[in-house]
Chain A
Amino acid sequence: MFRELYTNTGKLAGFILRKDRIRLPVWIISIVVFTFLIASILPDLYATGADRQIMAETMKNPAITVMLGPGYGLDNYTDGAMMAHFMLLFSAIATGIMGILLTTRHTREDEEEGRIEMIRSLPVGPLSPLAATILNITLANIVISLVVGFSLYSLGLEDMDLGGCLLYGASLGVIGIFFAALTGLFAQLTSNTRATIGYSFGFLILAYIIRGIGDVENETLSLISPLGLILRTQVFVNNYWWPVFLTLGISVIIFGISLYLNSIRDLGAGFIPTRPGKRNASRFLLSPLGLSFRLQRTSIISWTIGMFILGISYGSILGDLEGFLNTSGIIQQMIPEGEGLSLTERFMTMLMTILSILGTIPALMYVLKLSYEEKRNRTEYLLSKAVSRNKVIGSYTLIAILAVPIIQLMSILGLWFAAISTMDDAITFNTFFKAGFVHIPAMWIMVGLAVFLIGYFPEHVSLTWLYLGYAFFVVYLGDMLQLPDWMSNLSPFGHIPQVPIEEVDITKIFILVLISIVLTFSGFIGYSKRDIQG
């Protein structure tokens, strides 16, 4: 009986591996190479113990703790301690994202597309697809752990011993495994791909936020979050292995639950129930715009609330930061100069850029929904009616464009609420507002780029995500890694004036808006000229 449930899991795993023969190596190589590169340049950036100690002082700052996690070994800031502090959280998030995307692809997405049905009609056990998927991703993460571990060790850095290097690798790998298992669970609970991805990323973001608040306010809170937990390995400082094993144990339990749920549910079904709906469409639905809004309503509402919460959680550290900045001198090195401005205000600009980049995610989702619809042959219904192509692409674009200021407003409100309740000398709403809204042109450029790709290169729309990831990386770690200016200039966010430190340059803003308009409209032209897949 037990064996039958898992018949041919091995062969299926081989098949999944074949389907991922490009994707998986790209993930693994990117993560490994990225870690290796950073580890090899860090010792040059901060060459002497004194350099590192100066850096350590600035890193004691609660804002940094929220962003990167608690600094361990700040009193003796070795290369290893620094590497772990800068990179562990982010690399772990990367393996987490890999786990989410790959698991969804082989579980709920294959099921929704009817491919699992084909496979299940063969002599394959009912639990084999899920088991084979998790098996593969687990193996991939073990590979990542080992290769990252040994390649770090091969650098031969003084403060990075083999045990520490392997622990660093294992910390990344185990987060990948955890999020694969978790996504496997959501693939059982929900009944469609978007919901699976949505819940999984929602959990990842929640884990990040809880860890951020916990790291500053309350250690126990951080332990609830898998991302907080994994930082407690204190790699290269104390090298604790228990967080790795604990996370692994929890992953196994989650995996067991999802296998159980998989075994008791019908193919194609989920556990979050579907209710009978309306007999007639409301008047609001009866247009391409109404339709595209309706299809994304849940996502729009959740992101609006989510960005507000994210704003609050970032804002809640502004009070702590105020106290810290007033007593630390070295920090000025990190934060741009500005006359007559409080240090918190200066720090706020960076925060605003990060929130804007995160707020671009939903805007991109809303416009890229069109390409998802095309892949599922659903745009042809609209285009075979008396609906022009401009109207179809326009509806999705409009929602994305309008979402941008609304989302900005929500994160600004969140920041501001938190600021007035935690700061003695609170930043005014006006300052937040300007600093936030000045980013809108860059966000629109990202939307414009997506529209452009939909118009001319529909197979490559996911490049927008890569570009957004790049923009995020440059802002988040650019200063610490001392990246050259041209790297930040490659991102539209690099051209946004850092209000209130810099003046708003109207011409520059105008040019950015113009670029976004040109991209958007040329995308419209491309879209109305090309073949539609369905």
Chain B
Amino acid sequence: MAILKVNNLIKKFGNFTALNGVDLEVSQGEIYGFIGPNGAGKTTTLRILLGILKATSGQATIFGMDAWKDTVKIHKRVAYVPGEVNLWPNLTGGEVIDLFVKLRGSNNKRRREELIERFDLDPTKKCRTYSKGNRQKVALIAAFASDADLYILDEPTSGLDPLMERVFQEYVTEAKKEGKSILLSSHILSEVERLCDKVSIIRNGKIIESGSLEELRHLTRTSVVLDTKEPIADLGKVKGVHNIERKNNLLYFHVDSDQMDEVMKYISQFGIIKLEVAPPTLEDLFMRHYKVDGGGH
């Protein structure tokens, strides 16, 4: 069941087109990764979903309601963490958490205390004295302390240390287990890879790739490390083989995923001593998309 649906979303700031036909669909119980280079339009998309910006055209619905018109009803069930957390300097972290939780409409004291402890935050400090990571923790605690059905997270971990990042991932996984949905924009690809069921890549205001990690991998190349008894002749001429390099008598190359079978048949003729096959990482995917057409930005 689709919880969040974005259809041909266009957003212009004056003459500048920030979003140029974005489509997204997040189903219940899904963790959805949203990645793309700086200035691609991630934050803009999320802000439209939150009804803070008004789309120039296109639809954005959450729980089947219009993201611009039904903001209050939608927000009762949505938790949001912005990338740049800028809090009121003279309120304490504890006060801000209480305020945020209350404004969403739920209140769970025990969970709040648990989160504060897990994230290791001193809630009696004034926000002006918090580091970037600590400000982010305040927003994360407020988000997870409220009982939301959808979490919209815009680079929520850019300031967290690895320990805290682990805690964050646990809470995200837990939320997913409870059947909640998460839309996660992030530049930390390993995090997206570990957490997300589906990923969309946005560039220059357009979604250029979407699907489960499996599907995306299928679209790309597998990296292979090979050593054979006899030297391989004409590997470069085999269909689907790219980027051949030779280092320490080993051959490194990439294979188009759909040509794997043919390539394996070919190389086995030369007597395989060693063969390592690695699926492409999200980073490979990402790099490939950005490097095409000169990388965009």
Which residues of A approach B to under 8 Å, CB–CB? 191-192, 274, 276-281, 285-288, 291, 294-295, 376-378, 380-389, 529-532, 534
A386 with B104, Cβ < 8 A, contacts A279-B123, A380-B82 known: yes
A274 to B91, CA, bound (A): 11
B89 within 8 A of A: yes
A-B residue pairs in contact (CB < 8 Å), sample of 12: A278-B92, A280-B94, A281-B94, A285-B91, A286-B103, A287-B103, A378-B87, A384-B50, A384-B75, A386-B103, A531-B54, A532-B53
Which secondary structure dominates where chain A touches chain B?
loop
A385–B104 touching, CB < 8 Å: yes
* Closest partner residue, chain B, to A388 (CB atom): B72
| Residues on the A chain within 8 Å of B87, using CB | 378
A279–B88 touching, CB < 8 Å: no
* Closest partner residue, chain A, to B84 (CB atom): A377
B71–A383 touching, CB < 8 Å: yes
Chain B, 241-283, contact with A by CB distance < 8 Å: what is the 0/1 string?
Answer: 0000000000000000000000000000000000000000000
A278 with B124, Cβ < 8 A, contacts A377-B84, A387-B72 known: yes
Contact partner of B98 among A286, A384, A387, A530, CB < 8 A?
A286
Contact partner of A380 among B50, B73, B90, B99, CB < 8 A?
B50
Question: How many residue-residue contacts, CB under 8 A, span A and B?
Answer: 109
B177 within 8 A of A: no
Q: How far is the CB of B275 from chain A (nearest CB, A)?
A: 49
Q: How far is the CB of A109 from chain B (nearest CB, A)?
A: 13
A531 to B53, CA, bound (A): 4
Number of B residues with CB within 8 Å of any CB on chain A? 41
Q: How far is the CB of B66 from chain A (nearest CB, A)?
A: 14
Which residues 67-118 in B have Cβ within 8 Å of A in the complex?
A: 71-73, 75-76, 78, 80, 82, 84, 86-92, 94-100, 102-105
A385–B86 touching, CB < 8 Å: no
B212 within 8 A of A: no
B104–A277 touching, CB < 8 Å: no
Which secondary structure dominates where chain B touches chain A?
mixed
Which residues 122-137 in B have Cβ within 8 Å of A in the complex?
A: 123-126, 128-129
A384–B128 touching, CB < 8 Å: no
Q: How far is the CB of B85 from chain A (nearest CB, A)?
A: 9
B92–A277 touching, CB < 8 Å: yes
A384 to B75, CA, bound (A): 6
A280 to B97, CA, bound (A): 8
Q: How far is the CB of B269 from chain A (nearest CB, A)?
A: 60
B98–A274 touching, CB < 8 Å: no
| Residues on the A chain within 8 Å of B92, using CB | 276-279
A532–B52 touching, CB < 8 Å: yes
A530 to B53, CA, bound (A): 7
A277 to B91, CA, bound (A): 8
B156 within 8 A of A: no
A192–B94 touching, CB < 8 Å: no
A285–B71 touching, CB < 8 Å: no
A274 to B97, CA, bound (A): 20
Most buried by B among A376, A387, A531: A531
A402 to B47, CA, bound (A): 33
B36 within 8 A of A: no
Give the 4 A-B residue pairs with the shortest CB-CB distance, closest first.
Answer: A281-B98, A277-B92, A385-B103, A384-B80
Q: How far is the CB of A369 from chain B (nearest CB, A)?
A: 11
| Residues on the A chain within 8 Å of B139, using CB | 381
B29 within 8 A of A: no
